[in-house]
Structure 1
Amino acid sequence: MTLNLTKLYISNWFYLAAILFAVSLPFSIALISISGGLLLFTSLLQLNKEQLRKTFNERKLFLFPIGIFFIYLVWLIFTNDWKWASYDLRKNMAYLILPAAFLLGPKLSKTQYKNILYVFSFAVVLSSIITLVNFYLKEDHSILNAQHYGFMHHIRFSLQIDFSLLIFVQLLFEQRKLLNIYQKTGIVLAVGILISFLVWHQSLTGIITLLITIFIALGNWFFKHTSPKIKVIGAFVLVLSVLLPAAYLYYAVNRYYTFDSIDQNQLSELTVEGNKYSHDLKKKEVENGHYVWLFVCDKELEEEWNKRSDLKYNTLDKFGYNVKYTLIRYLASKNLRKDAAGVQALTESDVSNIENGISNYLLADIGLSLYPRIYVSIWELDSYYRTGNANHRSLAQRIEYSKAAFSIIQDNFWLGVGTGNWKKAYRDFYVSSNSQMAPERYGNVHNQYLNYMVKFGLIGLVLILFFLFYPVYISKEYRNTLFLLFLVIMIVGNFGDANFETHTGSNFFVFFYCLFLTPKST
């Protein structure tokens, strides 16, 4: 009996390492590295040398993703900066370690394969719940700060949520006859938690990726049906799935650009207390449609604010923002004049918001609302196109990073700048173009495909795409709907960020890519 149990335990080491890896993804970067090493170690430990040739022939497609790591090695011939070259190699070790582990490891059963998917999905749910509890226990003042909470970067985690939602939906539909009412309720609850968390976490990349993935999934499902009625319903649902988000975006943009009507001749010159107002008509900044630099009495603002707060008017808050400007913008957002009366009209909650660097009362919402994130995105773009200043504005900085990438690609179209040289290439562009970006804000493009083009040129990008999609085509695993939609998530998500240039993003993708491709025993 003991011998049998030992054999059972040993035979499951690789599987247990895979379970640990799946659990690590939404929780710990360090644990991802450890479990990745364990995955390779257990594959070598359980290596069947007698069956090695047969195993290699069955799984030789895993050599293709390993080829991506070798692209980084080959392009070292262009390297001038070995510090960042070694950084690139470390960040992309997943392309070497994980395919090698699945190439050499024991075959997983279909049950084990499904268990890994389910364990991962529930780990994502647990990570979401812990993040929510942590946020509300900290009594944070703005929903925009939600992105700073969690174990992983919000974009990487949002893509994990998207994939988990697909796993749960597939489980619910495929196993609906086998699941009892309690199991179905638990899955529906998990789906509700993840969708709510995705909106609460304010990750536009994850939300847009999910919407596009749903659109493709529904389109594929509806038009597989031969019934004309189903096709008509499908077309209606698909059109609606595009129109509803578009209508909400139109509403948000229209609401932002609905400004107060100003008659210069009717602007009050004096406050209630008889002090003179300042009206700067050249500055067009607005908050909720109200002009920021009209009806400003600096003297009254300072006196009245200093009565209400220990954080003085002409000082910086804990985030490095000037209290004066945060106060003026906040008053404008509430359509209050920037004088003593305006400050007196603020509630204690408003004062606390201003002290915490919140410049618009809408951004103090800590409920389930996507509008604050959309508002900030519109404000960032509006401010950027008016001033050319992208610093500390996420969306505007992405535009500057993209401009830099296109310029670098234009000069290095075929072969790129080489492994590790991208850091200097970006810095040289910002300096030579007299960019308004502060040196500490210099960064690389938030788009995986442009990122590859910068490093490896068109030739490198084509090779990488070939190494990724050729195994999918040859193995015919694209017929697995879940795998196909997983690829859609990653393809779309990589337009919004360079996910494969991060430790979590590359490991998340390569692990499940290999899991889908690996042969399963019955």
Structure 2
Amino acid sequence: SLILTESRSYWLASLTFLLLFSLMSFRSNKRLILTSAFILLTAGAVISQVPVLKDRFHSITDTKNNGSNITRLMIWKSHIKAFTEDYTLTERIFGAGDNASKLAWRHFGRAFQEVTGKEEIPPPGELRKWFHGGETHNLYLKFLTKYGILGLLGYLFFWIYVIYRNLERRDSLFIKAFVAGYVGFLVASFFENNFTDAEVQFTLFFILGVNFALISETAVRQR
């Protein structure tokens, strides 16, 4: 079902999960390597045989013709230009909040020229269709522009702490799965604003609750 969603960011996240989980479990459970290899081969076979999925897979690295990729590059460039050229020191540290999109829009025309190679900038009404309200489609860039350097560092330190606590108990197969899953989620965040969706937050915090309950239970057993 994940393959059929055609979500390239979560394809990459799933690939990251399988590879990292297999690598972490290689010595203790070699059967997982075979299982992961089977899943990857099956997924590859399905994608290669279905034209729509095959084209979708090939579009992952296509920054010249794929509209979704081009849009992301333009939005990323406009936000980065705004951050480096327009943000005050206070805004760089604490973020521009809801004003981040307005600041990025000022540079979107120039970003359009640089990404597409076209000199003529479309009319504002048409150009805004590419802007998508200024949504960054990159969670780290969103934290940087809306919440500043402190906000981004806070988010990163949160995940560093979560992964560190899990690695302390990495002898458990479940803990390894949690770590691999978190890293996969962080990979997907380069292309989506996944953490800011309410349904994703609810699911993620539920998983974190189960995860830390398991860590606590493991710690008690080892005393």
TM-score clears 0.5: yes
Identity over the aligned pairs, expressed in percent? Answer: 18
Structure 1's 377 and 485: CA in aligned 2 closer, same or farther, altered over 3 A? closer
CA contact (8 A) 2:79 2:103 kept: no
Matching of residues 168-179 of structure 1 within 5 Å: 174=28
State the alpha-carbon separation in 2 of the partners of residues 165 and 471 from structure 1. Answer: 20
Matched positions, count: 192
State yes or no: 1:459 paired with 2:150: yes
Partner of 1:496: helix, strand, or coil? coil
- The alpha carbon displacement at 1:413 in A equals 1.7
Counterpart selection for 2:92 from 397, 410, 413: 413
Partner of 2:189: helix, strand, or coil? helix
CA contact (8 A) 2:13 2:187 kept: no
State the alpha-carbon separation in 2 of the partners of residues 377 and 426 from structure 1. Answer: 24
1:398-427 deviations in Å (ceiling 9; x for gaps): 210111110222223222111x44443444
**Higher gyration radius (CA):** 1
- The alpha carbon displacement at 1:456 in A equals 0.7
Structure 1's 191 and 492: CA in aligned 2 closer, same or farther, altered over 3 A? same
State the alpha-carbon separation in 2 of the partners of residues 468 and 417 from structure 1. Answer: 23
Counterpart selection for 2:190 from 487, 491, 495: 495
Q: What residue number does 2:102 align with? A: 424
State the alpha-carbon separation in 1 of the partners of residues 45 and 130 from structure 2. Answer: 27
Counterpart selection for 2:43 from 197, 200, 205: 197
State the alpha-carbon separation in 2 of the partners of residues 162 and 446 from structure 1. Answer: 19
Structure 2 residue identity aligned to 1:468: W
State the alpha-carbon separation in 2 of the partners of residues 425 and 164 from structure 1. Answer: 39
State the alpha-carbon separation in 1 of the partners of residues 11 and 181 from structure 2. Answer: 14
State the alpha-carbon separation in 2 of the partners of residues 472 and 377 from structure 1. Answer: 29
Q: What residue number does 1:470 align with? A: 161
Q: What residue number does 1:450 align with? A: 141
State the alpha-carbon separation in 2 of the partners of residues 376 and 156 from structure 1. Answer: 12
Structure 2 residue identity aligned to 1:197: A
State the alpha-carbon separation in 1 of the partners of residues 180 and 130 from structure 2. Answer: 35
Counterpart selection for 1:439 from 103, 125, 128: 128
Counterpart selection for 2:76 from 379, 402, 405: 402
- The alpha carbon displacement at 1:454 in A equals 0.8
CA contact (8 A) 2:18 2:180 kept: no
CA contact (8 A) 1:447 1:498 kept: yes
Structure 1's 497 and 199: CA in aligned 2 closer, same or farther, altered over 3 A? farther
Give unmatched runs, 5+ long, in structure 1.
1-126, 132-145, 148-152, 177-183, 203-364, 384-391
RMSD over aligned Cα atoms: 4.2
Query: Which protein has the bigger helix share?
Result: 2
CA contact (8 A) 2:78 2:108 kept: yes
State the alpha-carbon separation in 2 of the partners of residues 470 and 372 from structure 1. Answer: 35
State the alpha-carbon separation in 2 of the partners of residues 468 and 449 from structure 1. Answer: 12
